[in-house]
Amino acid sequence: MCGIAGILANSFAPVQLETLIQRMQTALQHRGPDDHGIYISTDGQAAIAHTRLAILDLSPAGHQPMATADGRYWITFNGEIYNFQKLRHHLETQGEQFHSQTDTEVILKLYQRFGADCVNHLRGMFALAIWDNREKTCFLARDPLGIKPLYYYHSGSTLIFASELRAILATGLPSIQPSIAGLYGYLVSGSVPEPHTLIEGIHCLPAGNWLSWQSGQLTQHQYWQIDFTSETISQPEAIAKVRTALIDSIQHHFISDVPVGIFLSGGIDSTAVVALSRQTQQGELRTYSIAFRETDWNEGQIARQVAEVFGTNHTEYQITASLGRELFPKFLATLDQPSIDGFNTFCVSRIARDDGTKVVLSGLGGDELFGGYPSFQKIPQMVHWGKQLQRLSQIRTQLGMGLEYWGRSTQLKRLGDFLQQPPTITAAYRSFRGIFSHQEASVIAHHYLPDLPLPTRSTDTSSPVSSLEDQVSLLEITRYMRDQLLRDSDVTSMAWGLELRVPLVDRVLVETISSIPSSIRLAPGKQLLIQAVPDLPEWVFNRPKQGFFFPFEQWIAGEWQDYFCNINCPKHIQLKPWYRRWSLAVLQYWWERVIA
């Protein structure tokens, strides 16, 4: 993975344009320590930059920005295309000649032939920009599931884009005005929901979308979305289908010219990745895990047992409150936008990189695709009871207002929020997954931005799919996974110059299994995944789900107190559970660094 950036305009002098693009490149240097490059068009309309983490074709032939032989097309690309060898072979049969062993060159050739439709041929994670030096157009695209981020700022005829928000801000061109929509979204959910950011005017290109710039005008198009239309299939057929798709995805995600490691928590998803990797790969497998002194949170022993069963070269790193406290300032500086998550990936990424590994696989995505969260049972129940209470609409609304304002627990406040809305899956999801209720988030947002209008309660914009459980799956994939888990994984792994791959978040895998009826695919306890990977030890899946969490509550009450004691927040807002205090502390640090 790498860092990409660019400026498209016709209003800058060449010297100024070069200065601006160099600032952007410097802001992304951590994403690509192996190489860097800049291209500025002769007419001064385009400047694109790249910082490279070399994974495929480690030679200078992989240098970016990369151009076609005639100099017409120039690309800056972040990500990996796992089917590039197959695509390359097909292009060679059509007479194309290649000068490198990179996936980047394959994308260029595809764009030459197919234009914007090239993205439909790509299997992988990507954010890319291609400048057409003849037509004076630029094509930008983001992968279907949003694994790689792509931010942009459009003002007048100028378009600025980058892998991280900080690179756009480094130009000094956007005025740093906080976004009330981004702030409210963060307070409600714990992450800034795309397409918003915390800066007004800077947007995140939605997953599965491309953007075209020409003469200062933008065109946006959605080229992919998940389809949960179910087919008739038996349980044994579904198991076989999932197993074949999983093995295929694992094999593709090992395509690399450097060693590939695996994050191992000891849970079902990461153990499944290890088990399937052992089946498909010969030789050494490196695994990495975190352990704690606090026994209630420590899964180190389970991870060690998994590593022993599958014969991996295992590295365990014990994180104490003191060591975590030392790492916390760097973590805060790493965050491109505030989040209530990410510190776990930040720590384990450091371990892998210190061990000399440049690429790792993660089990992220298994819960969303196979129904591993309590939300798959709880949210449909909330919708059912909400519809029952809808007959008493006035009482229901008054009860909701009372709970939101006077409820003693944060759960009751969010339940009150839900009761004041139509009982949809989206409303129930926001309540179940939420951090602060609408009323609390509005008060905090007004505290930060007193001169802006208060935000309104979010409306239901989701598209209906075949079952309530499929709707929950869609929300978990497009909100929690995309806005938080994937974004945090990208930023925190790239802080150490590490490429993180997610074989369970694969376009072909998702397209293959999304047609399996939710009654099979989302059966409680991730039964379909367990049955599709019979190599899983019983003692891995026959224990309570724990998740990859840290003992933050104890640490915040102890050695980390000074980071969390002076929270800028209205006094009547409850700061328990711990993640509320965390969310506001991280927001406050980011705000003081970027906004103040």
Rounded to whole angstroms, how far apart are CA atoms 511 and 499? 24
Tell me, what amino acid is at 79? G
User: What pLDDT, in 10s, does the model give residues 290-311?
Assistant: 988 776 656 778 999 999 999 9
Structural tokens at position 456: 């309104």
Percent of the chain having pLDDT more than 90?
73
Q: What residues have CB less than 8 Å from 381, skipping those under 6 apart?
A: none
Rounded Cα distance, 536 and 529, in Å: 10
pLDDT tens, residue by residue, 212-233: 999 999 999 999 999 999 999 9
* Gap between the Cα atoms of 162 and 149, Å rounded: 8
Q: What is the domain partition of the chain in residue ranges?
A: 2-222, 235-372+483-550, 375-468
The predicted pLDDT at position 408 comes to: 75
Q: What gap in Å lies between CA 442 and CA 456, rounded to an integer?
A: 8
pLDDT at 545 (0 to 100): 62
Within 319-446, strands assigned E span: 359-361
- Predicted confidence (pLDDT) at residue 333 exceeds the cutoff of 60: yes
Q: What pLDDT does residue 64 have?
A: 86
Amino acid in the structure at residue 356: G
Q: Which two tokens stand for residue 235?
A: 């349980």
Which ranges of 259-312 would DSSP assign to H, the alpha helix? 268-280, 300-310
pTM of the model: 0.94
* β-pairing verdict for 35-40 and 46-52: antiparallel
Phi, psi of 453 (to 5 degrees): -60, 145
Q: Is 127 helix (H, G, I), strand (E, B) or coil?
A: strand
3-state secondary structure at position 98? coil
Bridge partners, 213 (sequence order): 138, 218
The predicted structure's pLDDT at residue 297 = 59
| Digit-coded pLDDT (tens) for 433-461 | 999 999 999 999 999 999 888 888 776 65
Average pLDDT for 205-218: 96
Architecture label for domain 2-222:
4-Layer Sandwich (3.60)
Query: Can 2-222 and 235-372+483-550 be said to share one CATH topology?
Result: no
List, by residue number, the catalytic residues.
2
pLDDT value of position 53 = 72
- Helices 393-406 + 375-389 axis angle, to 10: 130
How does residue 550 score in pLDDT terms, banded at 50, 70 and 90? Answer: confident
Contact in structure between 307 and 287 (CB atoms under 8 Å): yes
CATH homologous superfamily of 235-372+483-550: HUPs (3.40.50.620)
Mean pLDDT along residues 390-402: 77
Confidence at residue 385, expressed as pLDDT on a 0 to 100 scale: 87
77: confidence class by pLDDT, cuts 50, 70, 90: very high
The pLDDT tens digits of the residues spanning 14-56 come to: 889 999 999 999 999 999 878 889 999 999 999 999 997 767 6
Average pLDDT, the chain: 91
Whole-angstrom distance, CA of residue 365 vs CA of residue 363: 6
The average pLDDT across 108-117 equals: 96
